[in-house]
Amino acid sequence: MKILFSHSFKDKLIKSVWKCIPHERKIDEGAIRARLDPSSSQLSEKHVSDSEETPAIYEIRDEAGRKWWKIFDEFEFRLQDNSNKNRKWYHWFEPTDTPTERKLLFKLDLILCFFAFTMYWVKYLDQTNLNNAYVSGMKEDLGMKGNDLVNTQSIYTVGAIVFHLPFMYLIHKYPTNYLLPAMDVGWGLFTLAIFKAKNTSQLQVFRFFVGAFESAFYPTINYILGSWYTPSEYARRAGIFYWGQMLGVLTAGLLQAAAFKNLHLVNGLEGWRWMFIIDAIITFPIGIIGIWALPGIPAKCYSVFLTDEEIYLGRERLRRLKINVEDDSNTFFTLKLWKDMLSKWNFWLFTLVNVFSWNNSSASSGSYILWLKSLERFSTVKVNQLSTLLPALGILWILLTSSIADLLRSRWGAIIFSQTLNVIGNVILAIWDVPESAKWFAFMLQYFGQPVFPVNFGWMGDSMRDHPQQRAIITMSMNMWGQVSTAWISLLVWKTVEAPRYLKGYIFTTCCAFMVMVICTIILILYKRDERARAAENGIYLYNSAKGEPRPVILSSAKNGNEVLVVHNHDDAEKKEEFVVVRERNREGGK
C-alpha cells in the first residue's frame, strides 16, 4: 500500500511539474468542437444579402456606380457589419467579440503583448545606451575620435544582419519561447562585458555580438503577434509592443543620468560603465520569464496559461477570416515555396518599403542628443534627461497612428498621416537655419518615422495570410534588408564629424519618408486588386450591371459547409445556365 501510494504520488508530481514546463500542446479539435457545440458538425443555413444593413454570410454586390474613394477602403471586399461604426476609440475589443474571445484576447494581451513590450524595452535599453554613454564620458575614457561612434553603431548592425539568415527558418520551425530567451541572455552577457572594455576595438567586438543576439527579436515577435491577432486587432497590439522601443530610449537617458550622478567612480568605475552593468542585471530575468510568457503560434502553441479550448478558439477565429493557421514549416527548403514567394509583389514591395522606413528618421542616429550637447548650456545629467523627450512623444505618436490603422481600418491612411508629419520635421532640420524653437519642434516630430513599422508588418501579414511560412520569411527579409541599408548608409549620411548639422542626413531622411508614402500607395493598389480577386472566398459575389453582367444567384448552401453553388444567368440564344462551384474552407480549416 505504501509502495502504491508513493508511486501514485510520484506520478502526480511528475504530471504537475510537466504541466508547468512549456511544451507543445497537442489538442483534439474534433473533441473540443463537439464539447463546445454538439451541432457543429453541420453548418447552419447561410443567408444572402444585397444590403449592408443586414449582417450576411454571403453578399451579392453590384459594382455599378462604385465610388472612386472606395480604392482607399482596405476592407471593401470583406463582409462588413455596422458594429464598428458605433465603436468608440477607447474600446479595446471588437463589439462582436464574445466573452470567451475577450477572455482569450485578455490573456494574450497580458502574457504576449506585455512581455513583448517589456522585452523590447530591455532590447532597446541595451541597444541605445551607447549614445548616452558616448556623451557621458565613454568617448574620452576609451579614446574614441572621428567617426568611431557611427562605426561602432554599424558594427552592431552587421552582427544583427548575419544572424537574421538562419532565423528565416528557425522562427517557424522551433519553439520561440526557448529561442528568444536564449538570445536575450546572450545579448545580456555581451552588454555586461562592455563595462570591461579598455579601448574602441574591444567595444566594437562586444557590440557586434550584442547585435547578433538581438537580431531575431523584432521580426520574431511581429510574426507571433500576426499569428494570433486578426488584421483589425494587430496594429494597436504591435503599437504597444513598439512602445518598448520608446521606453528603452527614454529610460536609457534616465538611467545614464542617475548612474552618472550617483555611481560615478564608485568602486573605481565610471558612471557609463555602471549603466552597462545595470542594463545587464535587468536583461537576464526578463529573458528567463520569456520561456513561460511566449505562447508560440496557434499551430504550435507552447503556453501553459492557455486552455485547450482557448488554443482551439485562437485557431478558429483566424480560420473564420480565411487565415491559414496550419503548420507548413516543412516547405521551407522546397523550390516551389521560394519560386512562388519571389514571384509575388508582397515580398519585394514590403521589403523595399521597410528599407526606406529604416532610414526615414534621425531618431537612432544620436543627432538630437549631439545637438543638445553642442548647445553647451546643459550639464551631462541634463542632456541625458532631455534625451527622453523624443521617445516619450514617440509613445503618443505610435498610439495615435496604430489607432488610425485599427479603428478606421486604414493602414494606408495611418502611414500617410505619420509620414506627412515626419517629412515636415525633416525638412525643417534640413533647412537648419531656423529659430531654435523651430528646431525643437522638428526634433519632437522625429519619432513620427517609427509608427510605420507596426502598421506595415501587420499589413504584410494580412496580405500573406494564406502562407504562414512565406509570411515568416518576408518578416525576416523586411527587417534584415532594412538593417543592411543602415549599416552602410549611416556611414555616408550620419558621420559623427558632421554633427550636429547633418545636412546629408536630414535631406536623405526626408526623401525616404516621401518614398514610404509612394510605395505604400502602390501597395494599396495591388493589395486591393488581390482582395477583389478573392472577394468570393470572403463571401462577396461581384457583378456590374452597368456592363451588362448578370447577377449571381446563390442556388443552395450545402449543409456540410463544404461548397456553395453560384448560378450565373446568361441571356444567350440557348438560355444556358452556368454553374460555378465555389470551394470554401470547412470548419477544420481545410479546403
What's the topology of domain 99-533? Growth Hormone; Chain: A; (1.20.1250)
Residue 545 phi/psi, 5° resolution? -65, -25
Which contacts qualify for 375-378: CB closer than 8 Å, 24 or more apart? none
CA neighbor of 537 nearest in space, from 347, 322, 366, 389:
322
What span, in angstroms and rounded, lies between the C-alpha atoms of 233 and 399? 13
- Of 542, 456, 524, 551, the closest CA to residue 219 belongs to 456
pLDDT by residue (tens digit) across 24-44? 888 888 888 888 765 444 333
Half-sphere CA count of 356, side-chain side, radius 13 A: 22
Beta-carbon contacts of 482 under 8 Å, excluding residues fewer than 6 positions away, are 354, 355, 357, 358
Contacts of 537 (CB under 8 A, 6+ apart): 322, 582, 584
- Listed in sequence order, the residues at least 6 apart from 417 whose beta carbon sits closer than 8 Å to its beta carbon are 401, 404
Distance between CA 36 and CA 340 in Å, rounded? 38
Q: pLDDT of 251-293, one tens digit each? A: 877 888 888 889 988 999 999 999 999 999 999 999 999 999 9
Residue type, 38: P
pLDDT at residue 548 in the model: 86
Q: State phi, psi for 557 to the nearest 5 degrees.
A: -120, 115
C-alpha torsion 337→342→344→348, nearest 10: 140
Please give the pLDDT value at position 85: 61
Residue with cell 517589456: 118
Q: Which residues of 350-383 are buried (b: 16+ CB within 10 A; e: fewer)?
A: bbbbbbbbbbbbbbbbbbbbbbbbeeeeeebbeb
SS (H, E, C) 91-123: CCCCCCCCHHHHHHHHHHHHHHHHHHHHHHHHH
CA gap 442, 440 in Å, rounded: 5
Which residues lie across from 279 on neighbouring strands? none
Q: Which residues of the chain register pLDDT less than 70? A: 1-18, 37-57, 80-90, 554-591
Strands 48-49 and 540-543: what pairing?
A: unpaired
d(CA 465, CA 473): 13
Answer yes or no: are the C-beta atoms of 231 and 225 closer than 8 Å.
no
Q: Which three cell numbers stand for residue 586?
A: 470547412
Coil/strand/helix, residue 555: strand
What are the extents of the domains in the chain?
99-533
| d(C-alpha 339, C-alpha 353), whole Å | 21
Task: Give the number of other CB atoms < 10 A from CB of residue 224.
Answer: 24
Distance CA 253, CA 137 (A): 14
In this structure, the strands spanning 48-49 and 58-62 are parallel
End-to-end CA distance of the chain: 55
Q: Which three cell numbers stand for residue 205?
A: 567586438
- Following CA atoms 268, 270, 274, 276 in sequence, which dihedral angle do they give, to the nearest 10 degrees? -130
Burial class (CB in 10 A: 0-12, 13-18, 19+), 18: exposed
The residue assigned the cell 513590450 is: 117
Cα 273–chain centre separation: 32
Which cell is 583 given?
Answer: 470551394
| Nearest Cα to Cα of residue 473 among 116, 120, 171, 162 | 171
Helix (H, G, I), strand (E, B) or coil at 489: helix
3-state secondary structure 420-461: HHHHHHHHHHHHCCCCHHHHHHHHHCHHHHCCHHHHHHHHHH
**Of the candidates 157, 144, 149, 135, the residue with the CA atom closest to the CA atom of residue 214:** 157
What one-character DSSP code corresponds to residue 337? H
